Amino acid sequence: MMTSSKANVSEEMGWGSSYRLVASDKWKAKSAAMGKAVTAALVEYSQAKPGMLVLDLASGTGEPAISLAMLVGSQGRVTALDLSADLLDIAKRRAQERGLDNFLTQQADAQALPFDDNSFDLATCRFGVMFFRDPVLALRELHRVLIAGARACFLAWGPLEQPYWQSTMGVVHRCVGGPLLPSDGPDPFRFAQPGSLAAVLRSAGFSEVEEETKTLPWSWPGTPEEVWEQAQAVSVPFRPMLDRVPREMRPQVHEEVLAAIGQYVRGENIEFGASVVLASGSK
Protein backbone atom coordinates (compact mmCIF):
# COMPACT_ATOMS: atom_id res chain seq x y z
CA MET A 1 0.00 0.00 0.00
CA MET A 2 2.74 2.42 0.97
CA THR A 3 5.33 3.60 -1.50
CA SER A 4 8.74 5.12 -0.96
CA SER A 5 8.45 8.85 -1.43
CA LYS A 6 11.85 10.40 -0.66
CA ALA A 7 12.13 11.26 -4.32
CA ASN A 8 8.62 12.61 -4.32
CA VAL A 9 8.74 14.72 -1.15
CA SER A 10 7.90 18.24 -2.24
CA GLU A 11 9.16 21.50 -0.86
CA GLU A 12 5.63 22.75 -1.45
CA MET A 13 3.93 20.23 0.82
CA GLY A 14 3.08 22.80 3.43
CA TRP A 15 6.27 22.91 5.48
CA GLY A 16 6.84 26.61 4.94
CA SER A 17 3.32 28.08 4.81
CA SER A 18 -0.31 27.21 5.47
CA TYR A 19 -2.50 25.87 2.67
CA ARG A 20 -5.60 25.49 4.83
CA LEU A 21 -8.04 26.90 2.32
CA VAL A 22 -6.56 25.05 -0.67
CA ALA A 23 -6.45 21.81 1.31
CA SER A 24 -9.98 22.30 2.60
CA ASP A 25 -11.25 22.55 -0.96
CA LYS A 26 -8.97 19.85 -2.41
CA TRP A 27 -9.73 17.30 0.29
CA LYS A 28 -13.30 18.31 1.19
CA ALA A 29 -14.85 14.98 0.12
CA LYS A 30 -12.29 12.78 1.86
CA SER A 31 -12.15 15.03 4.92
CA ALA A 32 -15.93 14.78 5.17
CA ALA A 33 -15.68 11.00 4.88
CA MET A 34 -13.05 10.88 7.63
CA GLY A 35 -15.19 13.04 9.90
CA LYS A 36 -18.48 11.32 9.06
CA ALA A 37 -18.76 9.27 12.26
CA VAL A 38 -17.72 12.22 14.42
CA THR A 39 -20.27 14.48 12.73
CA ALA A 40 -22.97 11.84 13.11
CA ALA A 41 -22.16 11.46 16.80
CA LEU A 42 -22.54 15.19 17.43
CA VAL A 43 -25.75 15.39 15.39
CA GLU A 44 -27.25 12.48 17.34
CA TYR A 45 -26.06 13.97 20.62
CA SER A 46 -27.68 17.32 19.75
CA GLN A 47 -31.18 15.76 19.44
CA ALA A 48 -32.06 18.23 16.66
CA LYS A 49 -35.71 18.17 15.65
CA PRO A 50 -37.68 19.42 12.62
CA GLY A 51 -38.43 23.13 12.74
CA MET A 52 -35.54 24.06 15.04
CA LEU A 53 -33.44 27.20 14.55
CA VAL A 54 -29.83 26.05 14.97
CA LEU A 55 -26.54 27.94 15.30
CA ASP A 56 -23.35 26.04 14.41
CA LEU A 57 -20.23 27.79 15.73
CA ALA A 58 -16.81 27.52 14.05
CA SER A 59 -18.56 25.76 11.19
CA GLY A 60 -15.66 25.94 8.73
CA THR A 61 -16.62 24.08 5.55
CA GLY A 62 -20.05 23.21 6.90
CA GLU A 63 -20.30 20.29 9.28
CA PRO A 64 -22.33 19.51 11.28
CA ALA A 65 -24.38 22.46 9.95
CA ILE A 66 -25.25 20.74 6.65
CA SER A 67 -26.27 17.50 8.36
CA LEU A 68 -28.39 19.48 10.81
CA ALA A 69 -30.05 21.44 7.99
CA MET A 70 -31.20 18.16 6.47
CA LEU A 71 -32.68 17.18 9.84
CA VAL A 72 -34.54 20.37 10.76
CA GLY A 73 -36.24 20.53 7.36
CA SER A 74 -37.87 23.39 5.51
CA GLN A 75 -39.55 24.74 8.66
CA GLY A 76 -36.20 25.00 10.42
CA ARG A 77 -32.99 26.88 9.71
CA VAL A 78 -29.29 26.41 10.37
CA THR A 79 -26.85 29.30 10.56
CA ALA A 80 -23.21 28.33 10.02
CA LEU A 81 -20.88 30.84 11.69
CA ASP A 82 -17.12 31.12 11.25
CA LEU A 83 -14.35 33.74 11.21
CA SER A 84 -13.29 32.65 7.71
CA ALA A 85 -15.44 33.89 4.83
CA ASP A 86 -13.47 31.64 2.46
CA LEU A 87 -14.31 28.49 4.39
CA LEU A 88 -17.94 29.56 4.64
CA ASP A 89 -18.00 29.94 0.85
CA ILE A 90 -17.07 26.26 0.61
CA ALA A 91 -19.83 25.43 3.11
CA LYS A 92 -22.35 27.43 1.09
CA ARG A 93 -21.42 25.60 -2.12
CA ARG A 94 -21.73 22.24 -0.40
CA ALA A 95 -25.18 23.17 0.92
CA GLN A 96 -26.28 24.37 -2.54
CA GLU A 97 -25.12 21.09 -4.07
CA ARG A 98 -27.53 19.35 -1.70
CA GLY A 99 -30.39 21.71 -2.54
CA LEU A 100 -30.62 23.11 1.00
CA ASP A 101 -32.45 26.43 1.16
CA ASN A 102 -32.59 26.49 4.97
CA PHE A 103 -28.83 26.93 5.33
CA LEU A 104 -27.34 30.37 6.04
CA THR A 105 -23.76 31.50 6.63
CA GLN A 106 -22.52 34.30 8.89
CA GLN A 107 -18.95 35.54 9.18
CA ALA A 108 -18.43 36.60 12.80
CA ASP A 109 -16.47 36.08 16.01
CA ALA A 110 -18.04 33.68 18.50
CA GLN A 111 -17.18 36.17 21.25
CA ALA A 112 -19.38 38.85 19.67
CA LEU A 113 -22.36 37.14 18.11
CA PRO A 114 -24.41 39.37 15.77
CA PHE A 115 -27.76 37.98 16.91
CA ASP A 116 -30.54 39.09 19.23
CA ASP A 117 -31.12 37.47 22.60
CA ASN A 118 -33.18 34.27 22.55
CA SER A 119 -32.72 33.60 18.82
CA PHE A 120 -31.87 29.88 18.61
CA ASP A 121 -33.33 26.56 19.77
CA LEU A 122 -30.02 24.69 19.61
CA ALA A 123 -26.31 25.33 19.20
CA THR A 124 -23.51 23.03 18.07
CA CYS A 125 -19.76 23.27 17.67
CA ARG A 126 -17.51 20.55 16.25
CA PHE A 127 -13.75 20.84 16.89
CA GLY A 128 -14.02 24.61 17.42
CA VAL A 129 -14.44 25.41 21.11
CA MET A 130 -10.78 24.58 21.82
CA PHE A 131 -9.70 27.55 19.69
CA PHE A 132 -11.86 30.31 21.16
CA ARG A 133 -9.57 32.98 22.61
CA ASP A 134 -11.79 33.32 25.67
CA PRO A 135 -14.08 30.29 25.81
CA VAL A 136 -16.04 31.51 28.84
CA LEU A 137 -16.81 34.80 27.08
CA ALA A 138 -17.78 32.98 23.87
CA LEU A 139 -20.05 30.57 25.73
CA ARG A 140 -21.68 33.42 27.64
CA GLU A 141 -22.45 35.01 24.27
CA LEU A 142 -23.87 31.71 23.10
CA HIS A 143 -25.95 31.44 26.27
CA ARG A 144 -27.38 34.89 25.51
CA VAL A 145 -28.62 34.01 22.01
CA LEU A 146 -30.27 30.73 23.02
CA ILE A 147 -33.90 30.51 24.09
CA ALA A 148 -34.70 29.27 27.59
CA GLY A 149 -34.24 25.52 27.80
CA ALA A 150 -32.12 25.28 24.63
CA ARG A 151 -29.02 23.10 24.60
CA ALA A 152 -25.50 23.85 23.44
CA CYS A 153 -23.59 20.77 22.28
CA PHE A 154 -19.84 20.55 21.74
CA LEU A 155 -17.35 18.06 20.39
CA ALA A 156 -13.64 18.55 21.12
CA TRP A 157 -10.47 16.53 20.72
CA GLY A 158 -9.44 14.15 23.46
CA PRO A 159 -5.72 13.71 24.26
CA LEU A 160 -2.72 13.88 21.95
CA GLU A 161 -2.04 10.23 22.79
CA GLN A 162 -4.19 8.70 20.06
CA PRO A 163 -3.32 7.19 16.65
CA TYR A 164 -4.07 10.10 14.30
CA TRP A 165 -2.05 12.66 16.23
CA GLN A 166 0.75 10.33 17.34
CA SER A 167 1.41 9.08 13.82
CA THR A 168 1.52 12.59 12.35
CA MET A 169 2.44 15.49 14.63
CA GLY A 170 3.75 13.14 17.32
CA VAL A 171 6.34 11.74 14.91
CA VAL A 172 7.47 15.23 13.88
CA HIS A 173 7.75 16.25 17.53
CA ARG A 174 9.93 13.25 18.37
CA CYS A 175 12.21 14.10 15.45
CA VAL A 176 12.57 17.85 15.96
CA GLY A 177 12.05 18.34 19.70
CA GLY A 178 11.11 21.63 21.30
CA PRO A 179 7.52 22.63 22.09
CA LEU A 180 4.74 20.71 20.39
CA LEU A 181 2.58 23.85 20.41
CA PRO A 182 3.36 27.51 21.19
CA SER A 183 2.57 28.28 24.83
CA ASP A 184 0.43 31.27 23.82
CA GLY A 185 -1.16 29.72 20.73
CA PRO A 186 -4.25 27.62 19.96
CA ASP A 187 -4.32 24.17 21.55
CA PRO A 188 -6.42 21.38 19.99
CA PHE A 189 -6.15 19.43 23.26
CA ARG A 190 -7.31 22.27 25.52
CA PHE A 191 -10.27 20.26 26.79
CA ALA A 192 -8.75 16.78 26.76
CA GLN A 193 -8.67 16.72 30.56
CA PRO A 194 -11.93 15.16 31.78
CA GLY A 195 -14.28 17.75 33.25
CA SER A 196 -12.50 20.77 31.81
CA LEU A 197 -15.05 21.60 29.11
CA ALA A 198 -17.92 20.98 31.54
CA ALA A 199 -16.33 23.48 33.93
CA VAL A 200 -16.27 26.16 31.22
CA LEU A 201 -19.94 25.52 30.41
CA ARG A 202 -20.86 25.99 34.07
CA SER A 203 -18.77 29.16 34.31
CA ALA A 204 -20.65 30.54 31.30
CA GLY A 205 -24.01 30.04 33.01
CA PHE A 206 -25.16 26.72 31.56
CA SER A 207 -27.02 24.18 33.69
CA GLU A 208 -27.67 20.43 33.36
CA VAL A 209 -24.08 20.12 32.12
CA GLU A 210 -22.94 16.73 30.82
CA GLU A 211 -19.60 15.47 29.51
CA GLU A 212 -18.30 12.16 28.20
CA THR A 213 -15.31 10.84 26.29
CA LYS A 214 -15.92 8.47 23.37
CA THR A 215 -13.82 6.65 20.80
CA LEU A 216 -15.30 6.96 17.31
CA PRO A 217 -14.25 5.84 13.81
CA TRP A 218 -11.79 8.24 12.15
CA SER A 219 -10.88 6.74 8.78
CA TRP A 220 -9.23 8.30 5.74
CA PRO A 221 -10.41 6.75 2.44
CA GLY A 222 -7.07 6.89 0.67
CA THR A 223 -3.31 6.73 1.01
CA PRO A 224 -0.91 7.68 3.82
CA GLU A 225 0.58 10.34 1.53
CA GLU A 226 -2.83 11.98 1.14
CA VAL A 227 -3.72 12.07 4.81
CA TRP A 228 -0.28 13.46 5.70
CA GLU A 229 -0.54 16.20 3.09
CA GLN A 230 -3.98 17.13 4.39
CA ALA A 231 -2.83 17.04 8.02
CA GLN A 232 0.10 19.39 7.36
CA ALA A 233 -2.07 21.86 5.51
CA VAL A 234 -4.97 22.14 7.95
CA SER A 235 -3.21 21.69 11.31
CA VAL A 236 -2.47 25.39 11.75
CA PRO A 237 -1.61 25.17 15.51
CA PHE A 238 1.35 22.91 14.69
CA ARG A 239 2.79 25.23 12.03
CA PRO A 240 5.63 26.60 14.22
CA MET A 241 6.82 23.05 14.95
CA LEU A 242 6.58 22.01 11.29
CA ASP A 243 8.57 25.09 10.32
CA ARG A 244 11.36 24.08 12.73
CA VAL A 245 12.12 20.91 10.77
CA PRO A 246 15.48 21.52 8.99
CA ARG A 247 15.27 21.24 5.23
CA GLU A 248 17.76 18.37 5.13
CA MET A 249 15.68 16.45 7.68
CA ARG A 250 12.35 16.72 5.89
CA PRO A 251 12.63 13.58 3.71
CA GLN A 252 13.48 11.50 6.80
CA VAL A 253 10.57 12.93 8.81
CA HIS A 254 8.26 12.42 5.84
CA GLU A 255 9.23 8.75 5.61
CA GLU A 256 8.84 8.18 9.36
CA VAL A 257 5.38 9.74 9.35
CA LEU A 258 4.26 7.58 6.41
CA ALA A 259 5.58 4.47 8.16
CA ALA A 260 3.67 5.39 11.33
CA ILE A 261 0.45 6.06 9.43
CA GLY A 262 0.96 2.80 7.54
CA GLN A 263 0.32 0.84 10.75
CA TYR A 264 -3.34 1.81 10.47
CA VAL A 265 -3.89 0.89 6.82
CA ARG A 266 -6.78 -1.53 6.45
CA GLY A 267 -7.52 -2.31 2.82
CA GLU A 268 -8.14 0.99 1.03
CA ASN A 269 -8.70 2.96 4.22
CA ILE A 270 -6.57 4.28 7.06
CA GLU A 271 -8.45 3.51 10.26
CA PHE A 272 -7.15 5.64 13.11
CA GLY A 273 -10.11 5.95 15.46
CA ALA A 274 -10.62 9.20 17.38
CA SER A 275 -10.90 9.92 21.09
CA VAL A 276 -13.25 12.90 21.48
CA VAL A 277 -15.04 14.79 24.21
CA LEU A 278 -18.79 15.39 23.96
CA ALA A 279 -20.25 18.01 26.29
CA SER A 280 -23.52 19.91 26.58
CA GLY A 281 -25.39 22.35 28.75
CA SER A 282 -28.82 23.95 28.85
CA LYS A 283 -29.87 27.57 29.23
The larger pLDDT score, comparing residue 100 to residue 27, is at 100
Q: 270 lies in a domain? A: yes
Separation between Cα atoms, residue 17 and residue 198, nearest integer Å: 35
Domain that holds residue 28: 20-282
* Percentage of the residues of the chain whose pLDDT score is greater than 90: 82
**pTM, to two decimals:** 0.89
Of the candidates 240, 174, 225, 252, the residue with the CA atom closest to the CA atom of residue 16: 240
How much is the pLDDT for 6? Answer: 29
Q: 269 lies in a domain? A: yes
Of the candidates 46, 105, 104, 57, the residue with the CA atom closest to the CA atom of residue 77: 104
Give residue 101's identity as a one-letter amino acid code. Answer: D
Q: 14 lies in a domain? A: no
Mean pLDDT of 17-44: 78
pLDDT at position 15 over 50: no
Span 168-213, pLDDT tens digits:
999 999 999 999 999 988 999 999 999 999 999 999 999 999 999 9
Q: 11 lies in a domain? A: no
Q: 4 lies in a domain? A: no
Categorize the per-residue pLDDT at 11 as very low, low, confident or very high, splitting at 50, 70 and 90. Answer: very low
Mean pLDDT of the chain: 91
Q: 178 lies in a domain? A: yes
Span 151-169, pLDDT tens digits:
999 999 999 999 999 999 9
Domains in the chain: how many in total?
1
Q: In what order do the strands lie in the sheet with 103-107?
A: 103-107, 77-82, 53-57, 120-126, 146-157, 274-282, 207-216
Categorize the per-residue pLDDT at 21 as very low, low, confident or very high, splitting at 50, 70 and 90. Answer: low
Q: 9 lies in a domain? A: no
Question: What radius of gyration do the chain's Cα atoms show?
Answer: 19
CATH number of the domain that residue 81 is part of: 3.40.50.150
Widest Cα–Cα separation across the chain:
59
Separation between Cα atoms, residue 113 and residue 132, nearest integer Å: 13
Q: 161 lies in a domain? A: yes
pLDDT at position 31 over 90: no
Categorize the per-residue pLDDT at 10 as very low, low, confident or very high, splitting at 50, 70 and 90. Answer: very low
